[in-house]
Amino acid sequence: MSGADSRDSAAKGAMAERNGNGGGNGNGNGQTLARYEIRLSGLGGQGILTMGKLLGQALALGHGYYVTQTQSYGPEARGGASRSDLVVSSEPISYPKTEYLDLLVALSQEAAASYYSYLKPRGTLLVDSELVRQSPTNVFLGLPFTRLAREKVGVAQATNVVALGAVAYLLPFARIEAMRKSLKTALPEKIRDANVKALNLGYQEAKKHFGQPITLPDPAGEGESNGVRMDLTDIMAED
């Protein structure tokens, strides 16, 4: 009963693992992961749910993790808030939704503002730097995903996949080949090439601008704030 599901031990487990691995990039195959929570958010029509499916499929089938991908959207066909939550773990996942986020991807100003408060201390915020004009924090990563998609891929609809490429780079346990494979199996033939191009573009841009993939926090500096914020009875995520 070591509670791989509780966020508390999730953080510890992940940290221990990072220490052992020394923060290498991308080579995540077989890396033990307790509970890593990701939220992809933006507006209806931006392809948030597709992005969640592609990422989840890659992590579940390509990497062998347990993944739950849930979604939340309004009744509108376009516009309105849209988000997809993923929980990634080496062990079976009970609660399928997220409580506090390790990674938040926001493709709209509204999304960045509403979900920022769910980030864990030292969680990562990744935004579309042109759509999110005012980041709720100074500590964030940004790339102009929509502009990159429009100008370099030639299809604005590939925004989500450009962002997915950046996520593939940032997640220390993800492998870009598995993402590519997920893309190829999930998307219809005629849009495949443009999307693979978009994925590679996002990956390369992230590598160029962000330097290192996410390093999970050092346990020494984190223990106390963790203790306060992660008191189990205090959690009241309003998901």
Partner 1 sequence: MTAPRKKHREAFLLGNEAVVEGALAAGCSFYAGYPITPSTEIMECMAKRLPHVPDGVFLQMEDEIASMGAVIGASLAGRKAMTATSGPGFSLMQEQIGYAAMTETPLVLVNVMRGGASTGLPTSPGQGDVQQARWGTHGDHPIIVLSAADVPECVEMTVTAFNFAEKYRTPVILLLDEITAHTREKIDLPEPGDFEIFSRLTPTMPPEWYKPFEETMRGVPPMPPIGSGYRFHVTGLTHDALGFPTSRPEEVRALTERQFRKIDRFFEDIQLVEHVGTADAEVVVIAYGCVARSARLAVRQAREAGVRAGLLVLKTLYPFPRRHVEPLLRSCRLAVVPELNMGQLSREVKRVNEGHTVVRTINRIDGQIITPSQILKEIA
Indicate the residue among 70 and 114 with the shorter CB distance to partner 1: 70
Round to whole Å and give the CA distance between 236 and 239.
9
User: Cβ neighbours of residue 210 under 8 Å, at least 6 residues apart?
Assistant: 141, 166, 169, 170
Round to whole Å and give the CA distance between 176 and 162.
12
Write out the residues near partner 1 by the rule CB under 8 A.
Answer: 1, 3, 5-6, 52-53, 56-57, 60-61, 66-75, 93-97, 99, 232-239
Cβ at position 131, least distance to partner 1 in Å = 23
Cβ at position 212, least distance to partner 1 in Å = 29
Indicate the residue among 52 and 165 with the shorter CB distance to partner 1: 52
Amino acid code (one letter) for 164: L
Indicate the residue among 139 and 235 with the shorter CB distance to partner 1: 235
CB-facing half-sphere around the CA of 224: CA atoms within 13 A: 1
Question: Cβ distance 169 to 207 under 8 Å?
Answer: yes
Q: Radius of gyration over alpha carbons of the chain, in Å?
A: 17
Indicate the residue among 99 and 222 with the shorter CB distance to partner 1: 99
Cβ at position 122, least distance to partner 1 in Å = 21
Cβ at position 9, least distance to partner 1 in Å = 9
